[in-house]
């Protein structure tokens, strides 16, 4: 018997190497929204290497609404020494502005939470820009809470190279 059911309106799927141009376009849209487009140096080719090469650095989910890609989530495994178990760290979650309010972001977050549970991860965490009130409100609505007392630190560019070049006494 043939299944004549209409296609699902919303589908969350794992990205593949053929999605690198799409992932890059979403990264650029997110960067523009976050006022950080000037910081993006990633290319579709670099994403193909780093996401789908011999040692993948992260995984990506694609949200499709009525068959059209409308958002993504990029995440990777972290680790908690205090808990002695891995966690899921969400680097990016993005839904195109015209598609917001349809449950797509919640579906992405729900799928990520399910992956964390399936993989026996101890936690699911991410950062959000402090000015992004709509995202913060959304995260509160799904039960997330801020990590008061913690401040993100980062080394990049020349500062990273300088520290790596110091003689730390280790061989």
In this structure, how many other beta carbons lie within 10 angstroms of the beta carbon of residue 134? 8
Bigger pLDDT: 117 vs 5 = 117
Tell whether the model's pLDDT for residue 160 goes beyond 90.
Answer: yes
For residue 6, the SS3 value is coil
CA distance 53 to 17: 9
- pLDDT band for position 1 (cuts 50, 70, 90): very low
Query: Is the distance from CB of 71 to CB of 26 less than 8 angstroms?
Result: yes
Residues 6+ apart with CB under 8 A from 71: 26, 62, 63, 93, 94, 95, 96, 99, 104, 105, 108
Q: What pLDDT shows up at residue 4?
A: 56
Segment 51-55 mean pLDDT:
97
**CATH 3.40.630.30: does it fit domain 10-165?**
yes
Strand order in the sheet with 10-14: 10-14, 59-65, 68-80, 85-95, 124-126
33 among known catalytic residues: no
Average pLDDT over the chain, rounded to an integer: 93
Segment 31-45 mean pLDDT:
97
Q: What pLDDT shows up at residue 167?
A: 75
- pLDDT band for position 10 (cuts 50, 70, 90): very high
């Amino acid at each position: 018997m043939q299944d004549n059911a209409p296609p699902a309106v919303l589908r969350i799927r794992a990205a593949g190497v053929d999605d690198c141009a799409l992932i890059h376009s979403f990264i650029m849209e997110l960067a523009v929204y976050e006022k950080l487009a000037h910081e993006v140096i990633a290319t579709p080719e670099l994403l193909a290497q780093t996401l789908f090469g011999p040692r993948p650095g992260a995984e990506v989910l694609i949200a499709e609404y009525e068959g059209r890609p409308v958002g993504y989530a990029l995440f990777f495994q972290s680790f908690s020494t205090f808990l002695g178990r891995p966690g899921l760290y969400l680097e990016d979650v993005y839904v195109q502005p015209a598609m917001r309010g349809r449950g797509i972001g919640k579906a992405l977050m729900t799928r990520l939470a399910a992956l964390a549970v399936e993989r026996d991860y101890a936690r699911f965490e991410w950062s959000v820009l402090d000015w992004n009130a709509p995202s913060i409100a959304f995260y509160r609505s799904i039960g997330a809470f801020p990590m008061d007392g913690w401040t993100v630190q980062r080394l990049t560019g020349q500062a990273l190279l300088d520290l790596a070049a110091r003689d730390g006494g280790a061989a």
